[in-house]
Amino acid sequence: MSKTKTRIHRVPEDAKTRALLADAVRAEVSALGLQPPVVFAELKALAVRVVNNTGADPDYTEFAMVLAGNEIWRPMVAATPYHRRLLLLPQCLKNNHNCRGVFDELGLICNGCHSCSLDNIVTAAERLGYHSLIAEGTTVALGLVEEGSVDAVIGVSCMSTLERSFDTVKRSALPVVGIPLLCEGCSETTVDEGWLFRELYHHKPDPRLQPLSVSLLKNKVSGYFSEENLRRLLGNENDPTMEMALRSMLQGGQRIRPLLTVLAWSAYSDGDQDELPGMLAVIIECFHKASLIHDDIEDRDDFRYDQETLHKREGVPLAINAGDYLTGKGYELLGRLPVSCEKRAACLSLVASAHVTLTLGQGADLLAGRDRTLYSTAELLRIYAQKTGAAVEVALLLGAVAAGADEADLKVLKEFARQFGIAYQVRDDLEEFQRAGPSLQWFDYPFLMAFLKEHLNGHSPEVNLTELPFSDLKVIVDEAGIELKTASLVKAYVAQAYETLDRLSNLRLKLSLHGVLGKIFSAYES
């Protein structure tokens, strides 16, 4: 076994040494003003400094990393109500000889036999309102977070498992305090119970730090699109045009844009106003669904969400009119927002500006399709920023502006939206190509073809990509390594988006968007 691997598993046996390192880590984190999430390398550098400054055994470096992660995340865990926390315990704490617990699909169910410390720990936690699990690893915990059941985790585990969880915690932006077992092993291990109970009982409410549950907000946003609520906002006059528009609003989709709007509003607002976030969500979806109706006509698409498109069912003129109706309703609702005149004017200006930008990007895209023009990668990135980037931008900024976010954060969100939008569009182009069949043509994945054209300019300028069958294109793309280059570009924009988010002053929104990035682009993170 290598020295490095052994060091990962070391926990000071002496409580005084653990306390000494904890105090030193606390001082270092405070001096640096660190906020979560922090990358592995930064945690490692901090831990090395602490070990060197205290004269501790270098074998405790990884233990100091756990302490640093805890110190950085603790304020958000402490701000989380008990009933929104999960206590995750390892099965190896049980007494193998006398345990009367039974196992289900999630883990061990304690039977209260008092043969080990698990009963006292679980009982105390559940009296406070915790969810508790006696299971291995972080998969179950992440599942509960995604379901919207919990917002923060206190986890007990061996050092090797805690070390492996650093990247998962960073990517998911999950507030977590980890308490290492005092020794490695697969059975009858021990934990510093005093430490564990201090973390369990620690509660310091702070609305600025309490995590936002994206899953709960997603459910809330879904409720805004009930037929009853939409009829209330869009009109209930049983008009055929209104009915077409209403059916389009009710039809499918992940509601990502309204979710981003409500997420931003929730992060900056100082209270719960049911009417305002619901109106913002419907407004942003009105514009989105109007653009989809028009896009389907422009692209001659017959199906969306596995159903016939509106123009296919009702004809192009009526579909155009229904899209226009939704656009008008979006602006009408904007004009009725229950906010100050200054905020309402800022929201109207923001949406109108985005509307213009989106149409410019769509126009460039349509011209390329009409004229079979193969744009350069730089031109396509500009178009993606105008289309997808602007769509993400208006969704985020509408919620932020309505809630009164400051100009510095609005600037950061705008930059983040551009990077996110470009990464999302380039990734879609790449994955479209990877799923492609012989029926697709070069203009179905323009970014890869633009990349390929620029590559071939220095090698085989005589090749006309627009005339090649898909099978030949696939061979050339593979030989030139274009898929790998495209994936690398996606990674670069995702990395930029993370760096941009780190400049956001609103910690709740920063962590929520970190989690969104980690989920959407998990396959493109180094």
Identify whether residues 193 and 230 lie together within a single domain: no
236 and 196 within one domain:
no
Q: Element (H or E) spanning 237, and its range? A: none
The reply to whether 149 and 237 lie within a common domain is no
121 within domain boundaries: yes
Indicate whether 192 and 252 sit together in one domain.
no
382 domain residue, yes or no: no
**365 burial via Cβ count (<10 Å: 0-12, 13-18, 19+):** buried
Of the residues 337, 354, 370, the one at which a domain ends: 337
| Residue 176 shares a structural domain with residue 73 | yes
- Look at residue 384 and tell me if it is in a domain: no
Q: Is 343 inside any structural domain?
A: no
- Whether the CB-CB separation of 46 and 32 falls below 8 Å is answered with yes
Same domain, 122 and 243: no
Q: Is residue 44 part of a domain?
A: yes
- For residues 193 and 236, membership in a common domain is answered with no
Same domain, 46 and 189: yes
Same domain, 162 and 69: yes
pLDDT per position in the chain (526 positions), as tens? Answer: 343 444 446 899 899 999 999 999 999 999 999 999 998 899 999 999 999 999 999 999 999 999 999 999 999 999 999 999 999 888 777 666 666 555 555 555 655 666 567 888 988 999 999 988 887 666 677 777 777 788 999 999 888 878 777 777 777 888 999 999 988 766 667 899 999 999 999 999 999 999 998 888 999 999 999 999 999 998 877 899 999 999 999 997 889 999 999 999 999 998 666 789 999 999 999 999 999 999 999 988 899 988 999 999 999 999 999 999 999 999 999 999 999 999 999 999 999 999 999 999 999 989 988 888 888 999 999 999 999 999 999 999 999 999 999 999 999 999 999 999 999 999 998 988 888 766 666 667 888 888 888 888 765 556 676 677 777 778 888 888 999 999 999 999 999 999 999 999 999 999 999 989 988 998 887 6
Q: Which of 308, 337, 366 is a domain's end point?
A: 337
Answer whether residue 190 is part of any domain. yes
Total tally of structural domains belonging to the chain: 2
Query: 345-390: per-residue pLDDT in tens?
Result: 999 999 999 999 999 999 998 998 888 888 899 999 999 999 999 9
> Does residue 175 share a domain with residue 259?
no
Positive or negative torsion for Cα 335, 339, 340, 343: negative
Distance CA 111, CA 237 (A): 60
Query: Identity (one letter) of the amino acid at 483?
Result: E
Residue 258: give the domain boundaries.
Answer: 226-337
Q: Quick check: is 142 in a domain?
A: yes
Structure-token pair, residue 383: 């178009």
Instruction: Say how far apart CA 390 and CA 471 lie, in whole Å.
Output: 35
124 vs 197: CA distance, rounded Å: 9
Global model pTM greater than 0.75: yes
Q: Indicate if 284 and 135 belong to the same structural domain.
A: no
Q: Is 190 helix (H, G, I), strand (E, B) or coil?
A: coil
Q: What is the CATH number of the domain that holds 313?
A: 1.10.600.10
Peptide bond into 37 cis (omega under 30): yes
Q: What is the DSSP letter of 385?
A: I
Of the residues 166, 186, 201, which one is the last residue of a structural domain? 201
Query: Which 3 state secondary structure label does DSSP give 304?
Result: strand
One domain, residues 196 and 245: no
- Buried b / exposed e over 202-224, threshold 16 CB at 10 Å, is eeeeeeebbbbbbbebbebbeeb
Type of residue at 424: Y
With respect to residue 472, please indicate whether it lies within any of the assigned structural domains: no
